[in-house]
Chain A
Amino acid sequence: MLSSRALVRGLQSGLWRRVSTTSGMKAAHAQDLDVIDCSVPQYNNRRDTPLPDVPFVQNLNAEQKKLKEKEKGPWTNLTKEEKLALYRLSHELSYAEMKKGSDEWKTVIGGVFFFLGFTGLLVWWQRAYVFGDVPRTLSPEWIEMQTKRMLDMRVNPVGGFSAKWDYEKNQWK
């Protein structure tokens, strides 16, 4: 029951992640993006691996190739935009982007509360419309007679029930 609820919540939030979104294949091809070739080294965004096995963009167009050629010369000749472009060719996400959190937790907590509330509604409805009356032993008259009997029997006379009853004044202490 709980796992199917989690499933529904996940689908509703659209958070199923595709394997390929961080792969260099995304930049390389425009075709089927759901499959990555696991037999070749892959790009990854990881804080503990600053230099991944392959650059993010592997198939360079002519303009990018020209930039790569310019990279072989002194880097002081590159403009800031070119340097940034070179960085983005090799890396998908910067460290700041990698470390950024998301607001997913809010969706999760919201979903949890929503379904808890829904369950509460079900429970109330069940109590109101499905269950019959409680047994007569829980009616006020019965409870009264029961309490009288317990006091007469001196139930828990030291620290518990009858200890709280004032037998002289016939009332609760």
Chain B
Amino acid sequence: MFRAALRLSVSGARSLTRSPPQYAAPLAARCYSHGKQETDEEFDARWITYFNKPDIDAWELRKGMNTLIGYDLVPEPKILDAALRACRRLNDLASAIRILEAVKDKSGPHKDIYPYVIQELRPTLTELGIPTPEELGIDKV
């Protein structure tokens, strides 16, 4: 949902079809390019699977996170949940906090995204004992 709002003009036409679709043609039949376009759900699923790898190693976590932040979107809370659990498996609390900071930074001027993400992640944060940057006081200089 956030990504539809934040994606640039490449997928701009696609965001028009998110609500409601004008016709029932599957996205694969759209004429942007001859490749098949990945849906948001497929994108999310792919990244959740990536972070859910039980024996994910530290490099893969870093690579995945840095790549994800490089995209023109704010990751869905469920992807971030998988990433935070990966941090837990790697015993890396600092990275977990850093991920939350990165999400806030990624939202840019859209100030309502970060509170929503934290709200969605709150059960996970409590379960794993991950503090938010605000709780640690590092969101201020």
> A54-101: which have CB < 8 Å to B?
55, 71-72, 74-78, 80, 83-84, 86-87, 89-91, 94-97, 99-100
A47 within 8 A of partner (CB): yes
A120 within 8 A of partner (CB): no
Q: Are A87 and B93 in contact (CB under 8 A)?
A: yes
Inter-chain CA distance A96–B61, complex, in Å, is: 23
Given contacts A71-B91, A96-B138, contact A83 B128 (CB under 8 A): no
Give the size range of A's interface with the partner: 20 to 34
A144 within 8 A of partner (CB): no
Inter-chain CA distance A140–B65, complex, in Å, is: 78
Q: Are A90 and B98 in contact (CB under 8 A)?
A: yes
A166 within 8 A of partner (CB): no
Given contacts A75-B130, A87-B94, A90-B95, contact A97 B62 (CB under 8 A): no
Q: Are A87 and B130 in contact (CB under 8 A)?
A: no
Give the size range of B's interface with the partner: 20 to 34
Q: Are A47 and B138 in contact (CB under 8 A)?
A: no
Q: Which residues of B lie under 8 Å from residue A108 when comparing CB positions?
A: none
Q: Are B62 and A84 in contact (CB under 8 A)?
A: no
B73 within 8 A of partner (CB): no
Give B103 Cβ to nearest chain A Cβ, in Å. Answer: 9
Q: Which one of B62, B93, B95 lies within 8 Å of A83 (CB-CB)?
A: B93
Inter-chain CA distance A96–B140, complex, in Å, is: 6
Closest to A47 in B: B105
Give A47 Cβ to nearest chain B Cβ, in Å. Answer: 6
21 residue pairs bridging A and B, Cβ less than 8 Å apart:
A48-B69, A50-B69, A50-B102, A51-B65, A51-B95, A55-B94, A71-B91, A75-B88, A75-B93, A76-B129, A83-B131, A84-B136, A86-B93, A90-B94, A95-B104, A95-B105, A95-B133, A95-B138, A96-B138, A97-B138, A100-B141
